[in-house]
Homo-oligomer: A and B are copies of this chain.
Amino acid sequence: MNRSRRDMMSGIGAGLALAGMGGGPAFAASRKIGYAIVGLGSYATRQIMPNFAGCDQAKLVALVSGTPAKLAHYGDQYGIPATRRYSYADFDRIRDNPDIDAVYVVLPNSLHAEYVIRAAQAGKHVLCEKPMAVSVAECEAMIAACRKAGKKLMIGYRSRFEPYNRLAIDLTRGGHVGPTRLITAEHGFPAQPNQWRLDKPLSGGGSLMDIGIYSLNAARYLTGEEPVEVSAVESTDRADPRFRTVEDRITFMLRFPSGIIANCISSYSSGHNGYRVIGTQGWINMEPATPYSGQTMTIRKNNVTAPRTLPAPAKNQFAGQLDHLAECIMTGATPIVPGEEGLADLRVIEAIYRSAAEGRSVRLRA
């Protein structure tokens, strides 16, 4: 793969691998990577921060927020001393704090690029929430900045650390229901008014940036392919005050090199969470597919439909994600969802928007 080759050629992977391997596996187990959380919104405080408790290799060591009351509240709750509570104004001082190994950027989308680049420049590894940024150009700048700094960059695609999604990938690529012919993927929720998500300068776009990206990312990770053609249709009621600047519904079809077509939905005015892989011998259905918990898999094969269950995981997807970057930092490995993965989604997202706007299919390089 290009990604691996590039890492090897740049020496980043090799260098960090040596550093991380210094103490062998025992070293990895004895030390935890310290994270600073940047942005104390609902997702950070309700989903991410409580899950450090389940991590083997990651710990919460610092907080960054523009709201002093939040810094005080969550700092006290998680035992983060005042010396590791930062405002955005003094964000760059994280450089001087050796307890902070990595920064998790959980800000509104349009701020991702700036804070990822500043974090890399401060000498920190970075986990960045999806969507990676609001444009391909920003993604490329973020990747370049982290590479220049010799730091890891990973995107918060938590489903890749969720056992049912991992099984769905294995079953799909293994041809469990025959070669894949079609994929459907639907993600959406009725957006509440007055959120940064509905403000294009902050979000960079509507439902596609926020929730539809799960449909897109699933189509890519299930197939393991990159789409070569994108066709999209948008439907937005601009009279709805929620949708003055961002799109509501956008549906898109992706054609992959193997011939697989994915039909995808993204919506801010209806509830969806699922995907289905349809092969020549049946299908693999996930509904819900990408919630915080409660994934449900059903498989139809040779005309028999049955649920497929897994044991509850020892580590949930949030802890799995935090530990993965920690492990990569310690071993020098490349994250399974590096910046290039976020960039790949943004390339398709830009093509989706262009297709919908211009009423034509958009070709992408294979």
- A interface residues with partner B (beta carbon < 8 Å): 181-182, 184, 186, 188, 190, 229, 231-233, 235-237, 249, 251, 253, 255, 259-261, 263-265, 267, 269-272, 278-280, 282-283, 359-361
Contact = CB atoms under 8 A, between A and B. Distances in A.
A184 B361 CA distance: 20
Given A233-B231, A253-B233, A272 B263 contact: no
Contacts of A270: 181-182, 278-280, 283
A268 to B, nearest CB: 9
A281 to B, nearest CB: 8
A261 B280 contact: no
Contacts of A233: 229, 231, 253, 255, 261, 361
A143 B253 CA distance: 35
B267 A181 contact: yes
Contacts of A360: 359-361
A255 to B, nearest CB: 5
15 contacts: A181-B270, A182-B249, A182-B270, A184-B184, A184-B265, A231-B231, A231-B232, A233-B255, A235-B261, A251-B261, A251-B263, A263-B263, A267-B278, A270-B278, A360-B360
A27 to B, nearest CB: 47
Contact of A235 (B236, B251, B255, B282): B255
A237 B259 contact: yes
Given A261-B235, A272-B278, A278-B272, A182 B267 contact: yes
Contacts of A272: 182, 278
A78 to B, nearest CB: 32
Contacts of A282: 271
A269 B280 contact: yes
Contacts of A186: 182, 184, 278
A259 B269 CA distance: 12
B260 A263 contact: no
A265 B269 CA distance: 22
A278 B287 CA distance: 14
Contact of A265 (B188, B263, B267): B263
Contacts of A184: 184, 186, 263, 265
A353 to B, nearest CB: 14
